[in-house]
Structure 1
Amino acid sequence: MPEPVTALADVRFEGIAIIAAAPTADMVTLRADLAARKVQAAVKQAVGVAVPAPLCANMRDGCGAGWMSPDELLLFVPRGEGAAKVAALDTALAGLHAAAADVSDARAAFRISGPAAREVLAKLTPADMAPGVFPPGGFRRTRLAQVPVAIRADADGFTLLCFRSVAGYVFDLLSGAAAPGSAVGYFAPGA
């Protein structure tokens, strides 16, 4: 079996922030009643964390769950385990109105880091990127210019997920917003 590759191989741009293609974990989208005990138990079993609160992600050792909507989670599992996790979720949630699908190959991921990472994203998304509104552990489904994305805030930067088909466009947008000399100074460096 060939090794998985990112949508744009190992692209990287360094300016006021560092933009780099990120290796992707397998991703499973789960639609279900997130308040149901059976769903909460199945998520915990699948990724080792609890169902996150709205606009949050719970992550541990590269696995976790991001809140996408009142009835949808994006689950992050080790590479190569997406299909097995979908089968396990289907079994655990049998009889419930629920659906799980492996969306790993449809997604691309980028890491945005450095002292102006938050500002670079704020230039491109309508999501409020203020540190007090979008702290580490935050997770947003939003837009980056004209395309849908999800953004997860971590202690050392951000992970941005987009459809694989628009990865080149997203990389170019992020690189332009991170161009040397483009700092606006809206957020304190490293905020």
Structure 2
Amino acid sequence: MSETIQEPVSPLMGAVAEGALTVRELGPTGMISLRGELSDPAFAGPVTALAGCPMPDTWTVSGTGARALLWMSPDELLMLLPYGEAREAAPRLQAELDGQGLHALVQDVSDMRVRLQLQGPHMREALARLSPADVSPGAFRPGSLRRTRIAQAAAAIRLVSEEEAEVFCFRSVADYAFRLLGGAARNAPDFGYF
């Protein structure tokens, strides 16, 4: 019996909210959660080879576009790659790390998480309304990452540029996070924190 592969279904169907900034669901993204000793070259070698970028420093992101490594905690990374690659790449990477006798966990989480893009000059103000993280220009620079909350939902925020950020959250709270971010983006006259 052959396995039927279903096309991915985006939780928000590519929703877009326009206001003082644009909030957009980025659609299916390959995401692999990695746990292990990040400083061990035996772990880092296969991970960076698959990602196509170097290991990130603490609270940063390495890589751009469709391939990146996000530092999530002292023993955790989130790898971004094209959606179609994650399903086969995760077990291959796990087998490679196991073959080296490493204690590591590799899990395809592509269908568990959603990626929302915020674009516009008031992106920081919208994030500051919803998150306890310090998103001021001096504390949060392009290439940085914060694990935090968006109101009541766990999230990670990646600062791509001075006018673009990405919010990662669980698929189960995608609509909630999208509506919060869209609401925070609507009131342009009230902005002016930064």
TM-score for both structures, normalised by structure 1: 0.93
| 1:62 shift after superposition | 1.3
Are the counterparts in 1 of residues 113 and 170 from structure 2 also a CA contact under 8 Å? Answer: yes
Does 1:146 pair with 2:152? yes
Query: Aligned equivalents of 1:177 and 1:116: distance in 2?
Result: 10
Are the counterparts in 2 of residues 16 and 183 from structure 1 also a CA contact under 8 Å? Answer: no
Are the counterparts in 1 of residues 54 and 63 from structure 2 also a CA contact under 8 Å? Answer: no
In structure 1, the partner of 2:165 is 158
> CA-to-partner distance for each residue in 1:16-47, whole Å, 9 max, x for gaps?
11111112320000000000001110111110
2:86 corresponds to which of 82, 89, 102: 82
1:21 corresponds to which of 19, 25, 30: 25
Matching of residues 88-103 of structure 1 within 5 Å: 88-94=92-98, 95-103=101-109
Does 1:54 pair with 2:61? no
Task: In structure 2, give the amino acid aligned to 1:167.
Answer: A
Matching of residues 115-126 of structure 1 within 5 Å: 115-126=121-132
| 1:182 shift after superposition | 5.1
> CA-to-partner distance for each residue in 1:46-105, whole Å, 9 max, x for gaps?
101111011001123410100000000000011111122212211221111100000000
| 1:183 shift after superposition | 2.9
2:182 corresponds to which of 170, 175, 179: 175
Percent identical among aligned pairs is 40
TM-score for both structures, normalised by structure 2: 0.91
Does 1:72 pair with 2:76? yes
Query: Aligned equivalents of 1:160 and 1:182: distance in 2?
Result: 24
Query: Aligned equivalents of 1:84 and 1:112: distance in 2?
Result: 30
Runs of 4+ in 1 over 6 A off after TM superposition: none
Aligned length, in residue pairs: 187
2:135 corresponds to which of 129, 132, 137: 129
State the SS of the aligned residue for 2:127.
helix
State the SS of the aligned residue for 1:118.
helix
Query: Aligned equivalents of 1:24 and 1:50: distance in 2?
Result: 24
Task: In structure 2, give the amino acid aligned to 1:12.
Answer: V
TM-align CA RMSD: 1.3
Are the counterparts in 2 of residues 90 and 99 from structure 1 also a CA contact under 8 Å? Answer: yes
Runs of 5+ unmatched residues, structure 1: none
State the SS of the aligned residue for 1:93.
helix
Task: In structure 2, give the amino acid aligned to 1:172.
Answer: R
Are the counterparts in 1 of residues 22 and 118 from structure 2 also a CA contact under 8 Å? Answer: yes
Query: Aligned equivalents of 2:6 and 2:88: distance in 1?
Result: 18
Q: Bigger CA drift: 177-186 or 156-165?
A: 177-186
Task: In structure 2, give the amino acid aligned to 1:74.
Answer: L
Task: In structure 1, give the amino acid aligned to 2:21.
Answer: A
| 1:140 shift after superposition | 1.3
Runs of 5+ unmatched residues, structure 2: none
